[in-house]
């Protein structure tokens, strides 16, 4: 972790007040974290967001970064450089010990495993800052960082062996049916402990006193995920509190201070995404207008423009047209249960579409948590074929409430769909970004616009497929007579790719379709969840 | 037409300058048109929008209305009063002959056939200003007012015998495959006629000189529609010009003047809706930002806030979240071809959803114009069951290009789906506004929230249906054990409603469903396009 290395260096910056630090040759990779610590022993320490800032300068670029108080007289400035070359910085503070500290470092080219921050690409897709395609295939473990340490370590091990590259996770602990674990550390210090009318203990938090231990732990876990190549889709608020801690109903001023503090600590973590809420509409203390305010607070505080969205309950769509929102984060199974649904949502929003919750593979009584592995995998493919992205989740409980259920707690995967994540990503990494070839008419054929198609048959069980493609090819050049194609049969459940030993030659377009001139057919395995990959032979 | 009566009276208003007119007892129904004419013989007449305005006052309400020049030295002020009681007015103009004219009239309660202007109701639906439910079931005849007069009269006769209560129609003439008729009158006067490089005549319009004859004709047709109880969904711009007249590529200043002139003339027609464009994205001269400007120009000019939307090509969704847009006007068949699609769109936009183009019943070669009557009717029902509205259209051509094809020219209906419009409206007028009872899980059951359900089986051919309802009932009170229901079987194609001779008694909810305690079944007619109406017996 470069963070700790830097800290060793920078912890004595404070002794070189107003001068260029000696270690100006320090090297930081693009999109890694540069950090330094300043000490203030004057006793006037505060978590207030305007205690410290630093301006980083690189040629014509100048970025001002909020610092934050980390407890124990320590203030920290963190910065994620995007451009290579020399960066110089200078602090500003009303506290003399923090003011006018200067230094510089060298930002060097990213290493092979560092692709940078994930950005929106081609309106509907994503890529890393170094232009590597990022196909999001995430899973969900809302409260994993609040579990016992061995469970957290197991979660990381599970993720390491999976194909997932994103995880939805909450900052605050979770109090919900099947998830009752008390966290070992809280985000705030306790002002007092009261008894409610029923005699239960109620903690009263001091919302002006953040607990740095809580945030350092969260940061460690985000760094752990980064080491695994996993994006942390970090949920800032959620409704699963129900009067236990009250983090869902803090005053607006506390919400805004929390956002500033969190963003100051985390914006330099390149694998962080901001998810303002899970099921925002179930958070009864906040209106749509409040969410608007909170979203704007996050994006205003974040100098790097991390991906940012908000998630509602089933079929509850926020106004995702809001410019601060980079992509949709939808809970709705309907668009992936029925043909064509995902593509409709994609036609509506000029943004990447992620269905972040469409139900879970599991064995719960609730219908949201009892899909078969096949169904979960199928729904991911239904999204994929519509040019969108679907997030995985599983909710198996074999023992009792102490059982880990991945959806909330992490731990071990117990289902079968998670094993397909890597396979899906491999298929899509070969085709690149997809969209419907003939939107609103052919609901099964996706094109990459460059001669490759994926056709997904879903639950249809077919014996053969006669070569045929839509003549329309999204907004790309249309196929025409005299082209050559090869076909591979993909079993999305068994994870096999079987090349077909035929070459197909196209005829003239016939009533919106392109057929093989000899009407050649492909034998299919008479199983559900079959897809085809069709590739032009140059 | 009250308009002409008023004109007779008001044409000598101009002789009573600065005094209350003698006929102050004139009575105008709410939402009817009050109109008066002023003459200006000074020779300084202009179509400029700021030549004349009038302020109408009623108790604490004061509305300023733009007048317009109607040619022949005549200026007109039109006003649609919404509140009963005495309205007083006073004109303002830089032309002395038009300035400071005063008068008053009595606005009386609307007659039985006058329900007022249509407004959005309960977020997703519509009602007339007098609170009568308006269930939009429209058809399409883009250029009907530009056809020969006998065809126009036939169109009105066809509409009178149909169940439609809305029609999509263009202000400008149409030049498109199968529609080449030259209109007899143009919206502008001709400045000159040029020859292009191929020797074809090209008319050069004077965009500052509107042709009142053109607009008077359009107004007559809108009044004809009003007499039939039909809303005119008036399309202000469209791409079907292709260099023939150039109305799709006027300069922005001319577009804005056109909007001001059109709105000044038509805003007092209670049955007008503003549709900024058909297939807006095919109008190559205008950007999304231009449309934004034009939409705002319309709503700014319209003191009554008529319904306002814009229509794109297939699966092209404008930013319908824009507050000036009152409802969606979508071209996309996908949401009504597949289960659940319409409800997705409704979940996304907090506005009434109209699918104003999902294809046409017809016999054309193009796939957009070759649905069977059954398919057209089915798609309307697919929208209805999702709590949305679908517009009808037909495109039969039996002879040659001179044949009238209702889609563009009007004339006679030749298909079969139009005959079902009245039946559909009758069914829905009985249930009232609908929405999915269990959105994203049950794609066939709509609820009115008050004990009535419609279930639509679409193309399924079933022998029986076991009584069962979703336990979820949108946001309304859920059904529970011990309730009584009756069932009617609706054949949506044959237009029959057959009561089932059974009473159903509900059991406790069972895995998200409510069943009959004796598992009673309903015999179905083993035909497609069957629906059920299920009504609680108090």
Closest approach of B231 to chain A, Cα-based (Å)? 27
- pLDDT recorded at residue A50: 79
Per CATH, the number for A118-324+404-430 is 3.20.20.80
Instruction: State the best of A287, A348, A358 to mutate against chain B, taking most chain B CBs within 10 Å.
Output: A348
Intrachain domains B2-108 and B435-537 with the same fold: yes
| Residues on chain B touching A348 (C-beta within 8 angstroms) | 317, 345, 348
A226 CA to centre of own chain: 12
Nearest C-alpha neighbor of B276 from the set B291, B265, B289: B291
User: For chain B, how far is it from start to end, CA to CA, in angstroms?
Assistant: 46
| Residues on chain B touching A337 (C-beta within 8 angstroms) | 340, 440
CA B240 → CA B203, B237, B245, B246, B408, distances in Å?
A: 17, 9, 10, 10, 11
Across the interface, whether the CB atoms of A338 and B333 are under 8 A apart is answered no
CB A70 within 8 A of CB A76: yes
B339 — contact with chain A (CB < 8 Å)? yes
B347 — contact with chain A (CB < 8 Å)? yes
- pLDDT recorded at residue B8: 37
pLDDT range class, residue B413, cuts 50, 70, 90: very high
| Residues on chain A touching B367 (C-beta within 8 angstroms) | 441, 511-512
Q: Measured between CB atoms, which of B314, B340, B511 is closest to A338? A: B340
pLDDT range class, residue B257, cuts 50, 70, 90: very high
- pLDDT recorded at residue A16: 39
B535 — contact with chain A (CB < 8 Å)? no
What integer is the mean pLDDT of B119-138? 98
- pLDDT recorded at residue A197: 87
B334 — contact with chain A (CB < 8 Å)? yes
CB A107 within 8 A of CB A32: no
- pLDDT recorded at residue A199: 87
Q: Measured between CB atoms, which of B315, B321, B339 is closest to A338? A: B339
- pLDDT recorded at residue A201: 86
Secondary structure of residue A284 in the 3-state scheme:
coil
Instruction: State the best of B341, B357, B375 to mutate against chain A, taking most chain A CBs within 10 Å.
Output: B341
- For residue B221 the two structure tokens come to 């047709």
Q: Do the bridges between strand A68-69 and strand A74-79 make them parallel or antiparallel, or are there none, so unpaired? A: antiparallel
Across the interface, whether the CB atoms of B440 and A316 are under 8 A apart is answered no
| Cα distance between residue A313 and residue A143, in whole Å | 18
| Chain B: residue whose CA lies nearest to A443 | B334
In chain A, which residues have pLDDT < 50?
1-22
- What is this structure's pTM? 0.95
A367 — contact with chain B (CB < 8 Å)? yes
A121 — contact with chain B (CB < 8 Å)? no
CATH topology of domain A435-537: Immunoglobulin-like (2.60.40)
| Chain A: residue whose CA lies nearest to B328 | A348
A351 — contact with chain B (CB < 8 Å)? no
Q: Measured between CB atoms, which of A316, A334, A439 is closest to B340? A: A334
Nearest C-alpha neighbor of A52 from the set A23, A83, A77: A77
CATH top-level class of A2-108: mainly beta
Q: Measured between CB atoms, which of A315, A348, A511 is closest to B440? A: A315
A333 — contact with chain B (CB < 8 Å)? yes
| Residues on chain B touching A330 (C-beta within 8 angstroms) | none
- pLDDT recorded at residue A402: 77
Q: Measured between CB atoms, which of A315, A332, A341 is closest to B341? A: A341
Nearest C-alpha neighbor of B339 from the set A335, A388, A346: A335
| Cα distance between residue A247 and residue B279, in whole Å | 48
CB B468 within 8 A of CB B514: yes
B335 — contact with chain A (CB < 8 Å)? yes
| Cα distance between residue B219 and residue B235, in whole Å | 14
- For residue A4 the two structure tokens come to 């700790």
Closest approach of A436 to chain B, Cα-based (Å)? 11
B367 — contact with chain A (CB < 8 Å)? yes
- pLDDT recorded at residue A6: 41
pLDDT digits (tens, 9 = 90+) for B319-361: 999 999 999 999 999 999 999 999 999 999 999 999 999 999 9
pLDDT at B489 over 50: yes
| Alpha helix ranges (H) inside B369-487 | 373-385, 406-409, 421-431
- pLDDT recorded at residue A42: 86
- pLDDT recorded at residue A441: 97
pLDDT range class, residue B200, cuts 50, 70, 90: confident
Across the interface, whether the CB atoms of A344 and B315 are under 8 A apart is answered yes
pLDDT digits (tens, 9 = 90+) for B500-511: 999 999 999 999
User: What residues does each domain of chain B span?
Assistant: 2-108, 133-182+215-431, 435-537
Closest approach of B314 to chain A, Cα-based (Å)? 8
- pLDDT recorded at residue A49: 76
Across the interface, whether the CB atoms of A441 and B333 are under 8 A apart is answered yes
- pLDDT recorded at residue B43: 82
**Interhelix angle B421-431/B373-385, nearest 10 degrees:** 20
| Residues on chain B touching A340 (C-beta within 8 angstroms) | 334-335, 337-338, 341
Close Cβ partners of B185 (under 8 Å, ≥ 6 residues apart): B211, B213, B214, B217
Q: Measured between CB atoms, which of B315, B440, B512 is closest to A333? A: B440
Q: Measured between CB atoms, which of A338, A347, A512 is closest to B338? A: A338
DSSP state of B40: -
Close Cβ partners of B253 (under 8 Å, ≥ 6 residues apart): B207
Encode burial over B169-193: b for 16+ CB neighbours within 10 A, e otherwise.
bbbbbbbbebbebebeebbbeeeee
CB B314 within 8 A of CB A439: yes
- pLDDT recorded at residue B282: 98
Q: Measured between CB atoms, which of B314, B348, B512 is closest to A440? A: B314
Closest approach of A196 to chain B, Cα-based (Å)? 32
Closest approach of B233 to chain A, Cα-based (Å)? 23
A345 — contact with chain B (CB < 8 Å)? yes
pLDDT range class, residue B517, cuts 50, 70, 90: very high
A344 — contact with chain B (CB < 8 Å)? yes
pLDDT digits (tens, 9 = 90+) for B33-53: 999 999 999 888 889 878 899
CB A390 within 8 A of CB A376: no
| Residues on chain A touching B344 (C-beta within 8 angstroms) | 315, 332, 334-335, 341, 344-345
| Residues on chain A touching B124 (C-beta within 8 angstroms) | none
A341 — contact with chain B (CB < 8 Å)? yes
- pLDDT recorded at residue B1: 36
Q: Measured between CB atoms, which of A341, A439, A443 is closest to B340? A: A341
From the number of C-beta atoms within 10 Å of its C-beta (0-12, 13-18, 19+), residue B509 rates as middle
pLDDT digits (tens, 9 = 90+) for B3-37: 433 433 333 343 333 344 445 579 999 999 999 99
Secondary structure of residue B136 in the 3-state scheme:
coil
pLDDT at B191 over 70: yes
CATH architecture of B133-182+215-431: Alpha-Beta Barrel (3.20)
Close Cβ partners of A38 (under 8 Å, ≥ 6 residues apart): A13, A14, A52, A67, A74, A75, A76, A77, A91, A97, A98, A101
| Residues on chain B touching A343 (C-beta within 8 angstroms) | 315, 334
**Interhelix angle A341-348/B341-348, nearest 10 degrees:** 30
């Amino acid at each position: 972790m470069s963070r700790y290395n830097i800290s060793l260096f920078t912890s004595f910056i404070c002794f070189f007040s107003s001068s260029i630090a000696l270690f100006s040759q320090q090297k930081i990779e693009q999109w890694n974290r540069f950090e330094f610590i300043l000490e203030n022993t004057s006793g006037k320490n505060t978590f207030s967001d305007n205690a410290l800032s630093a301006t980083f300068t690189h040629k014509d670029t100048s970025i001002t970064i909020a610092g934050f108080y980390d407890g124990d007289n320590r203030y920290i400035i963190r910065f994620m450089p995007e451009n290579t070359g020399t960066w110089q910085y200078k602090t500003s503070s009303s506290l003399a010990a923090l003011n006018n500290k200067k230094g510089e470092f060298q930002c060097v080219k990213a290493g092979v495993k560092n692709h940078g921050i994930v950005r929106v690409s081609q309106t509907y897709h994503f890529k890393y800052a170094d232009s590597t395609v990022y196909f999001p295939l995430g899973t969900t473990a809302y409260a994993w960082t609040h579990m016992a340490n061995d469970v957290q370590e197991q979660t990381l091990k599970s993720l390491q062996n999976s194909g997932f590259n994103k995880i939805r996770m909450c900052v605050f602990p979770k109090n919900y049916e099947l998830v009752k674990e008390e966290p070992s550390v809280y985000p705030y210090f306790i002002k007092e402990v009261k008894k409610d009318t029923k005699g239960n203990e109620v903690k009263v938090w001091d919302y002006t006193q953040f607990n740095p231990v809580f945030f350092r732990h969260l940061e460690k876990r985000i760094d752990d995920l980064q080491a695994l190549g996993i994006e942390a889709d970090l949920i800032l608020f959620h409704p699963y509190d129900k009067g236990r801690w009250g983090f869902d109903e803090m005053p607006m001023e506390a919400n805004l201070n929390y956002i500033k503090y969190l963003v100051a600590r985390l914006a330099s973590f390149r694998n962080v995404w901001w998810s303002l809420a899970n099921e925002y509409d179930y958070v009864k203390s906040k209106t749509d207008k409040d969410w608007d305010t909170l979203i704007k607070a996050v994006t205003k505080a974040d100098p790097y423009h991390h991906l940012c969205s908000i998630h509602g309950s089933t079929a509850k769509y926020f106004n995702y047209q809001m410019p601060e929102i980079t992509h949709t984060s939808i809970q709705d199974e309907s668009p992936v249960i029925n043909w064509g649904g995902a593509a409709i949502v994609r036609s509506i929003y000029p943004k990447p579409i992620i269905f972040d919750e469409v139900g879970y593979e599991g064995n719960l009584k609730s219908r949201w948590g009892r899909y078969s592995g096949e169904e979960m995998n199928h729904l991911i493919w239904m999204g994929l074929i519509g040019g969108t992205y679907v997030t995985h989740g599983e909710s198996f409980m074999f023992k009792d409430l102490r059982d880990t259920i991945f959806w909330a707690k992490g731990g071990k995967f117990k289902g079968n769909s998670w094993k397909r994540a890597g396979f899906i990503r491999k298929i899509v990494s070969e085709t690149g970004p997809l969209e419907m070839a003939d939107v609103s008419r052919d609901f099964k054929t996706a094109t990459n616009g460059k001669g490759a198609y994926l056709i997904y048959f879903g639950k249809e069980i077919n014996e053969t497929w006669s070569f045929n493609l839509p003549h329309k090819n999204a907004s790309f050049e249309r196929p025409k007579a005299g082209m050559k194609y090869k076909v591979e049969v993909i079993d999305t459940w068994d994870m096999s790719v079987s090349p077909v030993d035929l070459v197909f030659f196209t005829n003239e377009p016939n009533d919106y379709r392109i057929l093989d001139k000899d009407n050649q057919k492909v034998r299919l395995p008479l199983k559900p969840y079959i897809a085809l990959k069709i590739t032009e032979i140059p």
